[in-house]
Amino acid sequence: MIVVTGAAGFIASCLVTRLNAANFNDIVVVDNFAVERKLANLKGKRLREYVDRNEFFEWLDTNHEQVEFIFHLGARTDTTEQDKAIFDLLNLEYSQKMWRACCQYQLPLVYASSAATYGSGTLGYSDDDALLPLLRPLNPYGDSKNDFDNWAVQQAEKPFFWAGLKFFNVYGPNEYHKGRMASVIFHAFEQIRQHGSMTLFRSHNPDYADGEQQRDFVYVKDVVEVCFFLMNHRQHSGIYNLGTGEARTFLDLTLNTFQALDRTADIRFRDTPEDIRDTYQYYTQADMSKLRSIGYDRPFTRLEDGIDDYVRNYLVPGAYL
């Protein structure tokens, strides 16, 4: 039996599909299932049981002997939310409770961290543990993820195997429900389809031209392959970056979305909203050497290929993974 939290969400629902493809069908999905717009992500998947996130630890106390692995991917991920109490409750305290339960019942754990922990990137993007206490995220979401990473590495008692994954800019199927927090590719698709053009944020940093802001965009299919690898690997515990190791510009992303739609590019710019302008990351690029060093050798999907697959095979037909 495999537990997946945040299971109705973007990355976790894609992981469930990957597990089903490998004939893992005794999957317990944990989430707040009252959010109806997410439920389509789980339609048609082979599942053992639905458990509300508020009832999960009571469920685990009863069923832990049957559980083989826990993927804790559930979190509040809104980077514009400023209420620290929400993140303390859902991201920090819930994850601490999960960690303690995995220690108590000797269960291996993979959990979701974030590249938001790197803040402005002035210290680079190395997943070396020595950098963790020095990182200064730019928003309460990033703080909550960094707080848990720091807490985890300091614990004397740890699960026999654990891994924290610092997700960079993940894009791909099953993000229809995410609204403003969906990937730029999703927003580009929607704008191009409706208006024939795409509007990007103008640069407010003199070091970057408009549209030349760079991020490490990683396809969700690659993300779940790493999760699957770690479930089978179960050694070399630690915190790992999960990007591609290659930064690409928003212009690259947008031009490839136009191409996947067989449309002529029409790109415009507007000011970055003031509520995120001061905390906007202009450059991210994962150092992937640590994950590679433990034996993960699959190539990561090129941005061009990932966008083409996502747009043509999922967004255009409105399909799910």
How confident is the model at residue 127, as a pLDDT? 98
Is 215 assigned to a binding site?
yes
Spans in the chain with pLDDT lower than 70: 77-83, 85, 88
Residue 272 annotated as part of some ligand binding site: no
- Is 257 flagged in the annotation as binding? no
User: Cα–Cα distance between 150 and 144 in angstroms, integer?
Assistant: 10
Residues 79-119: pLDDT tens digits?
656 667 677 677 789 999 999 999 999 999 999 999 999 99
The pLDDT value recorded for residue 21 is 98
Residues recorded for the chain: 321
Is 282 a known ligand-binding residue?
A: no
Exposed/middle/buried for 90, CB within 10 Å: 0-12, 13-18, 19+?
middle
Q: With beta carbons less than 8 A apart as the criterion, state whether 10 and 178 touch.
A: yes
Report the catalytic residues: 141, 178
Q: Is 215 left (phi over 0), alpha (psi -120 to 50) or beta?
A: beta
For 280, half-sphere exposure in the C-beta direction (CA atoms, 13 angstrom radius) is: 17
State residue 77's pLDDT score: 61
- How far apart CA 299 and CA 302 sit, in angstroms, is 9
pLDDT reported for residue 277: 85
Task: Output the CATH code of domain 2-172+217-245+285-300.
Answer: 3.40.50.720
Question: Quick one: pLDDT at residue 66?
Answer: 98
pLDDT, position 81: 60
- Residue 202 is labelled as binding a ligand: yes
For the chain, give every domain's residue range. 2-172+217-245+285-300
Task: Look up residue 220 and give its two tokens.
Answer: 């969700």
Kindly report the pTM of this predicted structure. 0.95
| Residue/partner pairs of 64-69 with CB below 8 Å, 24 or more apart | 64/101, 64/105, 64/107, 66/1, 67/1, 67/2, 67/3, 67/28, 67/105, 67/107, 68/1, 68/2, 68/107, 68/108, 69/2, 69/3, 69/107, 69/108, 69/109, 69/110, 69/231
